[in-house]
Structure 1
Amino acid sequence: MKQIFAFMPTFLLSVIFCNAQKLTATDVNSPEVTVVVDIKVNPQFKSEVKSLVPELSALTIKEAGALSYNYYLSPDGNKILIIEQYKSLSAFQEHGKNLFSGPLGQKFRSSFTVNSIVVAGGNLPDSVGNFTVMKSIGGFNSKCE
């Protein structure tokens, strides 16, 4: 029940500010990719997580191929889910190079243990490094006009 009430303000704002919604079928051949990263927060870095995320976001927002980049923290502070969207697989791969070639990459590796990475999209090869690949088979997108 709490989840419904937490969702309501967001829903109401979207109704107020969105004059018309456009529903489009998911393009299963789109080059866009969604990446879902499930990570464990290393205990000694738990207090630093909320200050590290803005640094990581500031680096990623500068990347031309980044569409969205969001962190979600579990109530106990032990797990994070990152949901990222990129214009293409190569944009995601470029993000990885940018992140892990600099000092923030070392900070990320020290702070977190990656449990899994899923790369999802319509136009993906059968394998992408050590990541789990999921290919789009349909759905829809809703956008305000």
Structure 2
Amino acid sequence: MPPPQYQFPPQYQPPPQRRAPQPHRPAPAPPPQKAEPAPRVEPPPAPYENDLLRLSEIMGSLALLRPLCAAPDGAEWSKRMQALLEAEGTTPGRRERLAGAYNKGYQAYALTYRICTASAQEASSRYLAEGEQLARTIAARYGG
């Protein structure tokens, strides 16, 4: 006996649709769009950018270390950073880099110190000296 042959149902194909010819009309003009301002181009970094980023990082470290060791200037470091951001954060990108450096300095010591130790006091003293030197160098070289 030969094997049974199956017949598959025909595949459905919709009949072609015909449209009545219509006279050619031009496409409607798109609504006028408001011109968006071109994105602000980031200027090249200042020649003292690396020094300024290091200073921001030091200020972040001091913002954690100085209050931790009950230094009288403990509350000043975040205010000083805010002043630096207002003076030097001329573009969003630059402002973000400066704030990122500050946060990096703060977080580096937040992971290490919970109480004031001799090591925290030594780090604080070193950062005060380095920060002062950087600020003087920037001001002397680039007129701050």
The structure that has the greater radius of gyration is: 2
TM-score (norm 1): 0.25
TM-score (norm 2): 0.25
Query: Greater share of helix residues, 1 or 2?
Result: 2
Query: Greater share of strand residues, 1 or 2?
Result: 1
